[in-house]
Amino acid sequence: MNYFSSNFKLGILGGGQLGKMMLYHTRKYDIYTCVIDPSKDAPARLACDEFRVGDLLDYDTVLDFGKHVDVLTIEIENVNIDALETLEDEGIKVFPSAKTLRSIQNKAQQKLFYRDHNIPTADFSRFAYTSEIEEAVENGGLSYPFVWKSARFGYDGMGVKIVKRYTDLIDLPNVECIAEKLIPFKNELAVIVARNRNGDLKTYPVVEMEFHPEANQVEYVICPARITTEVAKKAELIALKAASAFKHVGLLAVEMFQTENDEILVNEVAPRPHNSGHYSIEASYTDQFEQHLRAILNLPLGKTENKVAGVMVNLVGAENHEGNVVYKNIEKIMAMDGVTPHIYGKKQTRPFRKMGHVTIVNADISEARKIAEKVKRTIEVISD
């Protein structure tokens, strides 16, 4: 099929920053792109050929949008899967598939999938409602501490809480959830796997993620991860196993724990470009957004190695700031060597909202990490 400068239409469900960054490449290749998002101010609205405002969880909205494109993809998992199944039945190509998304969208089902396919993951218990947990603790079926995770709609620290005592349960929503064994780990790692329709697979180098202690958001993504070759190989093989088990088409970001004794456990996956791959825009031969397009269009997958070491810093809204965004001291970080800011195009900031990221590239990973710290201390995302 001719995708380039043709009548072919690619549809993207979601117009956030991931959609916006995907559009850099649809522009480069002149691929006609239609985007739908609930917000009229979505970051991706300016770079696509057609933009529509609509609810991604509404069956009729997603169905109608999908009928007007040739291939449909996502930049967010929370979409109406029944509509995707209907579209597939009607011959529209949907990647990732509705079946894959159904397995991943619900964290309890995602964990069961790992268990069924012998993919190592932390032990867990499923609950129809959070209120059932107290009884499980009293009966000895569960003990503190554990990690509570909402089965649906959790992201970026939302829908996740470490529960150390009964009082930690009080303010949690009474929803379908899992209670997961708290794993003492050395590192949080991630591997992005690309798989096209032919089943060709490529992995990006293992990245190391450093988290903000309060917000439970990634502060730094470091590539390559500062781990042994043996651990990196183990992480890559588990990520490949997961992508193959899901029969996934597109990008799969596999987040993992490296335990104290160097076991690798899958934490969760995202079936789309991911925060842990943003470094690739500056540091890789083929960035994750182009690779996602290559995979879903069944084109040859690009080279995934790093050209240079990279560290990514998330730009999130400062505490106590809400309103029109100001990027304070952005000129100062732009004066630093190898530093590239990405601004997502969200006009309104609020505490911990993802507003952009900064990539730092350097031949030496430890030097890149030092500069990243300086960047973090210098730039502030505040309101006017």
Per the annotation, binding residues are 107, 149, 180-183, 188, 267-268
> Shortest CA distance to 250 belongs to which of 72, 116, 121?
72
Judge contact between 74 and 12, C-beta under 8 A.
yes
Residues 6+ apart with CB under 8 A from 91: none
Q: How far apart are CA 165 and CA 273, in angstroms?
A: 36
Count Cα atoms within 13 angstroms, Cβ side, for 67: 9
Q: How far apart are CA 172 and CA 289, in angstroms?
A: 35
Residues 6+ apart with CB under 8 A from 241: 117, 119
Residues 6+ apart with CB under 8 A from 378: 329, 332, 333
Amino acid at 354: K
**Known binding-site residue numbers for ATP:** 107, 149, 180-183, 188, 267-268
Q: How far apart are CA 16 and CA 347, in angstroms?
A: 12
